[in-house]
Structure 1
Amino acid sequence: MSDAQTVHDAFQDPVLRYWHARSMESLDEARAWVETTREGWRTEAAAQWFVTRAADGAPLGRMALRDMDLLEGFAEIGYWVLPAARGQGAAPRALATLTEWALDAGFHRLEVRHSTRNEASCRVALKAGYPLEGTRRSSALHTDGWHDMHVHVRIQNA
């Protein structure tokens, strides 16, 4: 299956769609998104990976470093998990692995932001060692309106 098909299929899940402002209505839109992620790699502004099952390489979800600032050593982390992989610990394990790599690579501050209503994402951040730093009030527009966002942070050597 192509990366674009995997992304398109993932965004057909109503739970994933609810928590993300982005939609993915067509395969062409997914292809454009995949190309945008490649551009993020080329410009060192973002990096994304599929999380896969070790046994067969089947996709389980996605991890991303977004809004990267290499000079300041900052990135926001984004993630999602496919329905079949939820509740199996894939997201916290992948987040912990990405965090270890990013901090070893020289990032200083990594942030996870999620809606205060998204309890599952909060559990992922906490399990991966991201303490809650605070709440950004009315800072993300979702399909049902503005959401307050939790901010979880890991800091190098902290």
Structure 2
Amino acid sequence: MRIIERTYPYIISIILGFIIYIFRLEINDIKNFKEILSAIVTFSAIIIAFLSTMVSIFISLTNSEVMKNINEAGGNGLLTSYIAETVIGGLFLVVFSIILFIFLDYKGNFSNLLVVIYISLFSFVIFSSYRILKISLKILTNVLNESSSDKTENKAVKPKINEAP
């Protein structure tokens, strides 16, 4: 199961890129490509900022039981790599989008290859973002459950002191 979790963003990206390559989709075939490029740059920036914020939240949760369990199970390296892969993929997507602005009117031999790379990068960022978001939500849910169980335990442990009148 973990192998699927690790590889599905790559596999889906490669499959989508292959499909685009087979159908010979080129830059000039995509309507409003300039607006799409701008929107994807904005989307990537939002994802990168969100992940950066999430890292700071994870750092603040290092003393929680959930994070201790993740560390003991060796999941901290995996969690870090998932975040890094998504951020790096997002940065590559932004840079490649900027490069594609140069080729907006390009109709040469490499137009299909540029679209294949772009769709593959975009799908990778989407699916790796989904993966880390899903994991982050599980961690957050566990931390919140841990926090609410601590409050319940604290209420049950505190004895009431009866004072004599």
Q: TM-score, normalised by structure 1?
A: 0.25
Tell me which of the two structures has the higher relative contact order, counting C-alpha pairs closer than 8 angstroms and 6 or more residues apart: 2
Is the helix fraction higher in 1 or 2? 2
- Give the number of the structure whose alpha-carbon radius of gyration is greater: 2
